[in-house]
Amino acid sequence: MREGFSAYPGDGSNRWPAVHRPAAAPLFRPALESGGRAGSRWHWTGEDGIPVRDITEGIGRRPGLPVESVSHEQAADRFGRPASVQTQPGGPSSARAAAAVARLASTRAKQGKYEP
């Protein structure tokens, strides 16, 4: 708000995943207990994310701020580390997450450790 506008990087089509942390915590425990390989990344989401532009428009709506696109470099200067996540192509996918959960559940079931 200090600059008088709400900004998003690039065209704003990159997606930001929404997850309620207390809901995600029980999903990470089995992943950690399974001893996944070093460097593994775990992400669970029920959606493929919300376009960053939509989030930015929501942020600007209440105080009546205009919404503007900024370059990825400007976003990095303005937002710091979160901008690096927002400007990456692709991002999390609920389909990939669901497949990973299914594989983990199958493995745990074979080990006799699965509890629905």
pLDDT, one tens digit per residue, over 35-70 is 766 666 666 666 677 888 999 999 899 899 999 999
**CA-to-CA distance for 108 and 23, rounded, in angstroms?**
20
Please report whether residue 97 resides in a domain. Answer: yes
Please report whether residue 39 resides in a domain. Answer: no
pTM of the model: 0.55
Q: What pLDDT does 84 receive?
A: 60
Nearest C-alpha neighbor of 15 from the set 43, 54, 44, 41: 54
pLDDT, one tens digit per residue, over 75-105 is 888 877 666 655 555 555 666 667 777 777 7
Total structural domains within the chain: 1
Please report whether residue 87 resides in a domain. Answer: yes
Please report whether residue 116 resides in a domain. Answer: yes
What domain range includes position 76? 1-22+47-116
Please report whether residue 95 resides in a domain. Answer: yes
Instruction: Count CA atoms closer than 13 A to 27's CA, side-chain side.
Output: 17
Please report whether residue 32 resides in a domain. Answer: no
Three-state SS across 30-77?
HHHHCCCCCCCCCCCCCCCCEEHHHHHHHHHHCCCCCEEEECHHHHHH
